[in-house]
């Protein structure tokens, strides 16, 4: 009997000890449970209406994809701005393009103060060959030619990067430039082009009649004037060989050339469209199936 009572007292003591130890732990757990909202998961984050993509899922949002270097961000209507060096601008936007770095055909500055003796400008020389065709008469002038009129569009010929049309302005000359004097007027000549000094640089001008050079420019062409005379032609300029070299001469009526320089203007006179280069009229013709131009002699209709 006493033994049973001792066992009961021992069990009761252990239970009391366990109760003292476990009860505080249980109460702390209940407090933590209530603090966390009863063990329930956190509420879902709300998203703007219309966005059905998951932020953490396999399909990333537009903002997440734009972290990459190759991603594209939509900006306005039809405008894609790439994160790389290439930028595509939509059709609704206008972009100013800087053409100053490109190779432009003509850089003509007519505001420069250029003093040139206009009496040196080319005029057409009469040809000793008689004309077999009557002249074209219009507006008080007679236009003489040896070949019938055959229109073809005027396409300026490119003589290379060192050749420049009349009016082209440069700030410095090449070291190969030489000085040519004609009737007290100084010209600077280089590679078939004649320049005069102007404000801050040099301006290309029409070759002055009477200027003499010792060597023809590269790619000069031989042109037939008549049965006994040939001239040399380059970039709209005619040369005649002499004892001191090659002298600039006015074009002779009836001379045929295949190419005209930049700077010519198609000029409609009655029913004929001529190309006027400087003071010289050229008539488009067909010569043995090839488009060419003939120097026209113009006189007053008296």
The 10 Å Cβ neighbour count of residue 207 is 28
pLDDT of 227: 84
pLDDT of 26: 55
Contact between 144 and 296 under an 8 Å Cβ cutoff? The reply is yes
10: Cβ contacts below 8 Å, ≥ 6 apart:
none
**Residue 42 pLDDT exceeds 90:** no
pTM greater than 0.85: no
C-alpha distances (whole Å) from 28 to each of 18, 34, 41, 93 are: 16, 10, 20, 66
pLDDT of 231: 96
Tell me which of 102 and 203 has the higher pLDDT: 203
C-alpha distances (whole Å) from 197 to each of 172, 194, 214 are: 10, 10, 22
Mean pLDDT of 192-205: 95
């Amino acid at each position: 009997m006493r033994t049973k009572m001792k066992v009961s007292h021992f069990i009761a003591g252990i239970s009391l000890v366990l109760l003292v130890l476990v009860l505080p732990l249980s109460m702390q757990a209940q407090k933590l449970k209530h603090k966390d909202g009863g063990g329930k998961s956190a509420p879902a984050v709300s998203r703007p209406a219309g966005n059905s993509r998951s932020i953490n899922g396999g399909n990333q949002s537009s903002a997440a994809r734009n972290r990459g270097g190759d991603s594209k961000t939509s900006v306005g209507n039809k405008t894609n701005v790439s994160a790389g060096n290439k930028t595509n601008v939509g059709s609704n936007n206008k972009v100013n393009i800087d053409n100053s770095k490109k190779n432009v055909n003509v850089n003509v500055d007519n505001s420069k103060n250029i003093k040139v003796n206009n009496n040196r400008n080319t005029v057409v020389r009469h040809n000793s060959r008689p004309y077999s065709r009557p002249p074209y008469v219009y507006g008080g002038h007679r236009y003489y030619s040896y070949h019938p009129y055959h229109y073809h569009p005027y396409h300026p010929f490119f003589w290379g990067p060192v050749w420049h049309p009349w009016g082209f302005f440069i700030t410095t000359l090449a070291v190969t430039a030489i000085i040519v004097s004609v009737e007290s007027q100084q010209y600077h000549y280089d590679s078939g082009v004649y320049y005069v000094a102007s404000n801050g640089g040099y301006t290309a001008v029409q070759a002055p009649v009477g200027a003499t050079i010792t060597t023809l420019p590269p790619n000069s062409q031989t042109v037939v004037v008549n049965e006994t005379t040939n001239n040399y032609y380059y970039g709209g300029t005619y040369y005649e060989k002499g004892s001191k070299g090659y002298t600039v001469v006015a074009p002779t009526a009836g001379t045929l050339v295949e190419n005209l320089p930049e700077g010519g203007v198609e000029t409609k006179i009655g029913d004929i469209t001529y190309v006027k280069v400087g003071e010289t009229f050229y008539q488009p013709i067909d010569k043995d199936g090839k488009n060419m131009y003939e120097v026209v002699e113009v006189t007053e209709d008296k």
